[in-house]
């Protein structure tokens, strides 16, 4: 307690000294050769964006000269964008050859420390907000709180906590366990097999401090189970999740690979379909009717397909699913985009490596989406979905200074999104050119 007071005083003194040294109104001036604001259909050239006390206070043509104490970021050869939003990550995990073993050896503390490292990588790659769609350890909710409190650097996190699924399904953490070590009470792990249990699982997420709900409507690639596509929740169970989620202001994201699982989830009212690998024309029609978002996660599809080329990388139960599902997502994306399904940028990073999130932009453009639209699907569109568009998602006066710089012009070469040179968040420049 006494020590806390002393630390508080020291911090206050340091802050006062910093203000005297830098001038009380020191601002950050970003000289941007090109500015993409996340909303407008075209970029504007040669702009100055001013960030003062964490907020955007001016956007003006030309390169404003700094006042005494102002910091200038020289991005005259690059492009300034709003901080990116990845709508599907797993910050407490990263797939590797050791994943199978770590199911038995890793503790929650290991996950928590990994998550701090991965969150920092994510931020430095230009992602200032992420939706974390599943973490069995509880580490991500703690990390979200620590980032919000300014204790560690990282993106703003919208956290789902434990994903909800059925016995033996994609979210059952004890699949393939020896019966000697399998725990008895599945509900603790969000394993549900009835609408009542589904309701309780949502309420449990609320109790634990989640911001959103994730369900496993179908089988999955990287779990110890035979089926990657089959439906694993009844429509009644999904509807119970959605109705209960609404009571608490939660949106619901549904992991779904197979067409039947997608249809059940959409009809039951989920807000987004994750992966959506085998969506057929009827799925597309239903998603358009219901306004359901599609989060393609092509990065994950690509990653599992690449790794499955090595027959020793995955356990034998996983490898055929990786070979089947991986390559399909890209053509599904192209089809869904053409048909006019609403899309949000999401990678499922934690499958692919943390910090590589921006590769998804290239996959989206290769799938037929114009670069400007891919950028909007990673900025203003998810900001609105996550109901944080008053703070972030576009470059506008009054919004937070959550800004990213890339070299060159992403509208000409989308791969520059993978070479972020400037990141600002929380009135702090984490990366400067
Ligand atoms: Zn995922």
CB-based neighbours (< 5 A) of ligand 1, an ion: 348
Instruction: Please state the rounded mean pLDDT for residues 251-258.
Output: 97
- How remote is the CA of residue 180 from the centroid of ligand 1, in Å? 29
Q: Give Cβ neighbours of residue 39 (< 8 Å, ≥ 6 apart).
A: 376, 380, 394, 396
Task: Please tell me the distance between residue 348's alpha carbon and the centre of ligand 1 in angstroms.
Answer: 5
- pLDDT band (50, 70, 90) for residue 417: very high
DSSP 164: B
Structure tokens at 362: 């290239």
Please state the pTM of the whole predicted model: 0.92
Q: How far is CA 383 from CA 343, 387, 391, 394, 399, in A?
A: 13, 6, 8, 8, 12
3-state secondary structure of 425: strand
CA of 15 to the centre of ligand 1 (A): 40
The better pLDDT of the pair 290, 168 is held by 290
Distance of CA 305 to the CA centre of its chain: 21
| CA 65/CA 33 separation, integer angstroms | 15
Residue 137 alpha carbon to ligand 1 centre in Å: 15
Report, as an integer, the average pLDDT of 32-48: 98
Q: Is the dihedral of CA 253, 258, 259, 261 positive or negative?
A: negative
pLDDT score recorded for residue 120: 98
pLDDT surpassing 80 at residue 64: yes
**Cα 88 to middle of ligand 1, angstroms:** 6
pLDDT at 184: 60
| Of 139-148, 187-196, 380-389, 401-410, minimum mean pLDDT range | 187-196
What is the mean pLDDT of the segment spanning 77-97? Answer: 96
Ligand 1 centroid distance, CA of 151 (Å): 26
| 130/143 Cα distance (integer angstroms) | 12
Residue 314 · residue 228 · CB < 8 Å: no
In 10 A of CB 433, how many CB atoms?
14
Q: Distance from the CA of 383 to the center of ligand 1, in angstroms?
A: 19
Instruction: Grade residue 30 by pLDDT with cuts at 50, 70 and 90.
Output: very high
* Distance in Å, CA 89 to ligand 1 centroid: 6
* Burial grade of 184 (CB within 10 A; 0-12, 13-18, 19 or more): exposed
Paired strand residues for 61: 47
CA separation for the pair 200, 219 (Å, rounded): 22
Ligand 1: centre distance to CA 214 (Å): 9
Q: CA nearest 45: which of 75, 15, 67, 20? A: 75
CA of 207 to the centre of ligand 1 (A): 22
Residue pLDDT, tens place only, 147-174: 999 999 999 999 999 999 998 888 888 8
Tokens of 423: 């990141």
Res 186: pLDDT: 66
Contacts 24+ apart (CB under 8 A), 245-250: 245/202, 245/213, 248/202, 248/203, 248/206, 250/202, 250/205, 250/206, 250/210, 250/211, 250/212, 250/213
Give the pLDDT band of residue 221 (cuts 50, 70, 90).
confident
pLDDT, average across residues 82-94:
97
Ligand 1 centroid to Cα of residue 6, in Å, is: 43
């Amino acid at each position: 307690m006494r020590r806390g007071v002393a630390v508080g005083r020291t911090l206050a003194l340091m802050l006062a000294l910093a203000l005297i040294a830098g001038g009380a109104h020191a601002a950050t001036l970003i000289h941007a050769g090109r500015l993409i604001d996340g909303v407008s259909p075209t970029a504007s050239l040669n702009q100055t964006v001013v960030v003062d006390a964490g907020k955007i206070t001016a956007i003006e043509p030309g390169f404003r000269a700094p006042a005494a104490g102002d910091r200038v970021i020289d991005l005259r050869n690059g492009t300034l964008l709003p901080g990116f939003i990845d709508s599907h990550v797993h910050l407490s995990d990263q797939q590797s050859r050791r994943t199978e073993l770590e199911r038995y050896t890793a503790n929650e503390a290991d996950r928590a420390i990994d998550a701090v490292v991965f969150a920092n990588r994510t931020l430095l790659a230009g992602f200032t907000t992420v939706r974390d769609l599943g973490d069995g350890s509880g580490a991500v909710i703690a990390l979200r709180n620590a980032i919000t409190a300014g204790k560690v650097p990282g993106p703003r996190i919208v956290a789902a906590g434990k994903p909800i699924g059925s016995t033996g399904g994609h979210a059952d953490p004890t699949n393939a366990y020896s019966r000697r070590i399998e725990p008895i009470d599945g509900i603790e792990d969000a394993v549900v097999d009835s609408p009542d249990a589904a309701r309780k699982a949502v309420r449990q997420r609320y109790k634990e401090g989640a911001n959103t709900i994730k369900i496993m409507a179908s089988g999955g690639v990287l779990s110890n189970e035979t089926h990657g596509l089959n439906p694993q929740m009844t429509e009644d169970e999904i509807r119970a999740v959605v109705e209960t989620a609404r009571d608490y202001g939660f949106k619901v994201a549904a992991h779904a690979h197979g067409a039947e699982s997608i249809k059940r989830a959409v009809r039951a009212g989920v807000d987004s379909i994750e992966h959506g690998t085998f969506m057929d024309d009827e799925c597309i029609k239903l998603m358009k009717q219901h306004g359901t978002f599609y989060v393609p996660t092509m990065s994950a599809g690509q990653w599992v397909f690449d790794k499955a080329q090595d027959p020793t990388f995955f356990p034998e139960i996983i490898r055929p699913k990786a070979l089947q599902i991986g390559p399909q997502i890209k053509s599904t994306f192209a089809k869904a985009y053409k048909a006019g399904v609403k899309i949000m940028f999401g990678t499922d990073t934690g499958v692919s490596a943390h910090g590589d999130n921006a590769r998804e932009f290239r996959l989206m453009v290769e799938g037929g989406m114009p670069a400007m639209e891919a950028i909007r699907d990673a900025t203003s569109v998810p900001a609105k979905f996550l109901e944080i568009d008053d703070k972030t998602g576009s470059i506008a006066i009054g919004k937070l200074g959550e800004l990213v710089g890339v070299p060159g012009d992403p509208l000409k070469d989308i791969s520059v999104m993978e070479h972020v040179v400037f990141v600002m968040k929380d009135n702090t420049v984490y990366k400067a050119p």
